[in-house]
Amino acid sequence: MDLPHRRSGGLSLPVVSLGLWQNFGSATPFADQRRLVLHAVDRGVVHLDLANNYGPPPFAAESSVGRLLATDLRRDELVITTKAGYRAWPGPYGEHGSRKYVLASLDESLRRLGTDRVDVFYSHRFDPHTPLEETLGALQSAVRSGKALYAGISSYSADRTVAALEVAQSIGLSLAVHQPAYSMLNRWVERPGADGRSLLDVASAAGMAVVAFSPLGQGVLTTRYLRGIPADSRVARGGPLRPEWLTGEVLDHVRALDAIAGAGGRTLPQLALAWVLRDPRVTSVLVGARTTDQLDDNLACTMGPPLEDDELAAIEPHAVDAGINLWGSRSSDL
Ligand SMILES: NC(=O)c1ccc[n+]([C@@H]2O[C@H](COP(=O)([O-])OP(=O)(O)OC[C@H]3O[C@@H](n4cnc5c(N)ncnc54)[C@H](OP(=O)(O)O)[C@@H]3O)[C@@H](O)[C@H]2O)c1
């Protein structure tokens, strides 16, 4: 399938990318992981997003992709990304943004992946205790050593992105990608920062690709939770989607959005993804599909017509921040 791509600088990304945060760990048989990844790649989803701590447990998703790279996948047909920033191992050197942690983590990621470079290496979150010069200097070392082709940052606020871009420029580093959460229920990237510009404004002015994560709000922007909590769902598994976020108010918005989707001949996930992609400053939506059926449903977001003005107007009162931003409190106040 010819999945459309959007380009940012030299980096061309499919508009739908696959994230391996939750469904590539010890609870999922390797055969199921393999089926999903090979299906995705076959359908043109050639961007696989990883981090040292994905699985769960940490390291599992990178190890799985390493096995697939050794047997099934062709490295240079793929964009493979990884990150360091959250806790990956115990002790003071297993998280945050120090040079010691970031570069050790990249070496470990490369070993698990069995490759000598990743395409994008991200600072996974801003670290208030480490100077930006140090964290970004570590990314620069990664790029200069050839262990990463591009450098990125994730969940840095608009203001912190402005600061990071200034530091990056001063040390000769190009920050090519920003990876923020963005969905109809989490619109923080649209809010203005101190200089009046939103993160989307800042990133696009700097020529950064924007890879939007959790575009389905971890599964809230589907019909899965409209009749209770399914046994095989992220909430039932005790994952990072918290049951207390599924309030009556949130579910009323989801029901209304589902009706708008149906009226336009789309499923709710297709509407939610098309909505994030309506903004040309977004390069790719990073979905965390668990099954091939979910992925196929998501990929069909690229097949419908663009959202019409009347659909966007109908969506607006229901596309509201719903308090489901896990990264707001954990990621050093976005
Ligand atoms: N940089 C960061 O800090 C950060 C943080 C979070 C995520 N990410 C990246 O973003 C990726 C995606 O995040 P996410 O997993 O939260 O994304 P998401 O696509 O918003 O949510 C994925 C979940 O939604 C449900 N789902 C997906 N497609 C569906 C469909 N068509 N119909 C019904 N349900 C569907 C599944 O839930 P069930 O399992 O319940 O079926 C799936 O596990 C991650 O894998 C990771 O690569 C980055």
For ligand 1, say whether the CB of 55 is within 6 Å of any of its atoms: no
Ligand 1 test: best mutation among 37, 50, 127, 213, most atoms within 8 Å of CB? 213
For ligand 1, say whether the CB of 214 is within 6 Å of any of its atoms: yes
**What does the mean pLDDT of the chain come to?**
95
* Contact present, 78 and 333 (Cβ < 8 Å): no
* Stated pTM of the model: 0.97
Beta strands in 232-290 (DSSP E): 284-287
Encode 7-36: b = buried (16+ Cβ within 10 Å), e = exposed: ebeebebbbbbbbbbbbbbeebeeeebbeb
pLDDT exceeds 90 at position 158: yes
- Joined together, the tokens standing for residue 333 give 């106040």
Three-class secondary structure assignment of 298-328: HHHHHCCCCCCHHHHHHHHHHCCCCCCCHHH
- Joined together, the tokens standing for residue 13 give 């990304």
Q: What's the pLDDT tens digit per position in 82-107? A: 999 999 999 999 999 999 999 999 99
pLDDT exceeds 70 at position 334: no
Residue 21 C-alpha to ligand 1 middle, in angstroms?
Answer: 8
Rg over alpha carbons for the chain, rounded to the nearest Å, is 19
Residue 61 C-alpha to ligand 1 middle, in angstroms?
Answer: 14
The range of the structural domain enclosing residue 33 comes to 5-330
**DSSP strand pairing (148-154 vs 175-179):** parallel
Question: How many domains in the chain?
Answer: 1
**CATH number of the structural domain spanning residue 181:** 3.20.20.100
- From CA 190, how far away is CA 201, in angstroms rounded? 8
Q: What's the pLDDT tens digit per position in 165-215? A: 999 999 999 999 999 999 999 999 999 999 999 999 999 999 999 999 999
Confidence of residue 321 (pLDDT cuts 50, 70, 90): confident
